């Protein structure tokens, strides 16, 4: 497979408008974007510039007001809710700023949950969850509940959960936003490691340093539009 050549995501003239009575909030206002397999992309921009909205559209959590979104060559811009759920469950792994683990499930059970929604058998789920716990170095915490874990540990569980169904693409919305620099660094290292292993990663951040240091390509967003695209030193 020619690394960095296969196209995974393509956005064409994507718009997302929110209609609030008289006002129209143009959260995303005509975005074009092509992301290839194995990319590590950062979406940079000030708060409210439309980064999360863009990410949610890519992650098939939402439908655009206008434009086309291709995931692995399939147009997902006008799919039904249940087809979208299938697609995002299989192809996308989400990581959130506030970790968003299910509070009454243990670390391991949280990791097993996405596989349940894909209909995997319990023994398959257990086996995979154990492997992922090992990858994020949390085997000794597998039976802990989220409130018994530190922020960094919770985010590593979230990463493992995002990887559960072997998705092509990992979407991380400010993954280090709630972590201190050192813990954040560790989380970033895991993301980089998985990127090296072939995962396509799209990360939203408002921290330019973080973007330059870890990503290969940076999209700079403002007012719902892409201002510019830059390549970092990581991109060969």
Partner 1 sequence: MIKDYAGLAVKNLKRRGLRSYLTLLGILIGITAVIALITLGNGLRTAVISQFGISSTEVISVQAGGVNAFGPPGSGVTNPLRLEDVEAIEKLNGVERAVRRNIPTGKLEFKDEVIFGVIMSIPDGEDRKFVYEELNINPVEGRLLKDRDIGKVVLGNNFLTEKAGLSNPVKVGNKVRISDKTFEVVGITEKKGSFIFDNVVHMNENDLEALAGYGDKVDLIAVKIKDKGEIEKVKEDIEKLLRERRNVEEGEEDFEVSTPEAELETVDQVLGGVQAFIVLIAFVAIVVGAIGIVNTMTTSVLERKKEIGVMKAIGAKNSDIFFQFFIESGLLGLVGGIAGIFFGIIIGFFGTIGINSFLGSSASPKIDLILIFLSLIGSFLIGSIAGITPALRAAKQHPVKALRS
Ligand X SMILES: Nc1ncnc2c1ncn2[C@@H]1O[C@H](COP(=O)(O)OP(=O)(O)O)[C@@H](O)[C@H]1O
CA 107 – CA 104 distance, rounded (Å): 10
- Residue 52 in contact with Mg ion, rule: CB under 5 A: yes
Minimum CB separation from partner 1 for residue 134, in Å? 20
27 touches, from Mg ion, ligand X, partner 1, none (C-beta below 5 to 8 Å by class): ligand X
Query: Taking the CB of residue 200, how many other CB atoms lie within 10 A of it?
Result: 22
- Residue 25 in contact with ligand X, rule: CB under 6 A: yes
How many residues in the chain? 236
- Residue 18 in contact with ligand X, rule: CB under 6 A: yes
CA 201 – CA 222 distance, rounded (Å): 21
- Residue 146 in contact with partner 1, rule: CB under 8 A: no
- Residue 110 in contact with Mg ion, rule: CB under 5 A: no
- Residue 154 in contact with partner 1, rule: CB under 8 A: no
Binding-site member from 51, 125, 128, 156 for ligand X (CB under 6 A):
51
- Residue 25 in contact with partner 1, rule: CB under 8 A: no
**Strand 7-20 vs strand 66-71: parallel, antiparallel, or unpaired?**
antiparallel
CA 63 – CA 19 distance, rounded (Å): 14
Contact 64, 71 (CB under 8 A): no
- Residue 49 in contact with ligand X, rule: CB under 6 A: yes
* C-beta of 52 vs 165, nearer to Mg ion: 52
CA 200 – CA 202 distance, rounded (Å): 7
CA 19 – CA 26 distance, rounded (Å): 9
Residues in contact with Mg ion by CB under 5 A are 52
Contacts to ligand X by CB under 6 A: 18, 20, 25, 27, 45, 47-53
């Amino acid at each position: 497979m020619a690394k960095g050549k296969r196209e995974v995501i393509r956005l064409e003239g994507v718009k997302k408008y929110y209609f609030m009575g008289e006002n129209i909030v143009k959260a995303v206002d005509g975005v074009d974007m092509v992301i290839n397999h194995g990319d590590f992309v950062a979406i940079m921009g000030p708060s409210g510039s439309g980064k999360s909205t863009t990410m949610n559209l890519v992650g098939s959590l939402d439908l655009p007001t206008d434009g086309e979104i291709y995931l692995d060559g399939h147009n997902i811009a006008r799919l039904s809710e249940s087809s979208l759920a299938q697609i995002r469950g299989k192809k996308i792994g989400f990581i959130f700023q506030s970790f968003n683990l299910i509070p009454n499930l243990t670390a391991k059970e949280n990791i097993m949950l996405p596989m349940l929604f894909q209909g995997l058998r319990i023994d398959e789920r257990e086996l995979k969850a154990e492997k992922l716990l090992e990858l994020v170095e949390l085997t000794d915490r597998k039976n802990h509940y989220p409130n018994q874990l530190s922020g960094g540990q919770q985010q590593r569980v979230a990463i493992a959960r995002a990887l559960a169904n072997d998705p092509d693409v990992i979407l991380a919305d400010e993954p280090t936003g709630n972590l201190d620099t050192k813990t954040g660094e560790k989380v970033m290292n895991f993301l980089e490691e998985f990127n090296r292993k072939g995962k396509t990663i799209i990360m939203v951040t408002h921290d330019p340093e973080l973007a330059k240091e870890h990503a290969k390509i940076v999209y700079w967003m403002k007012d719902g539009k892409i201002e510019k695209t830059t390549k970092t030193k990581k991109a060969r």
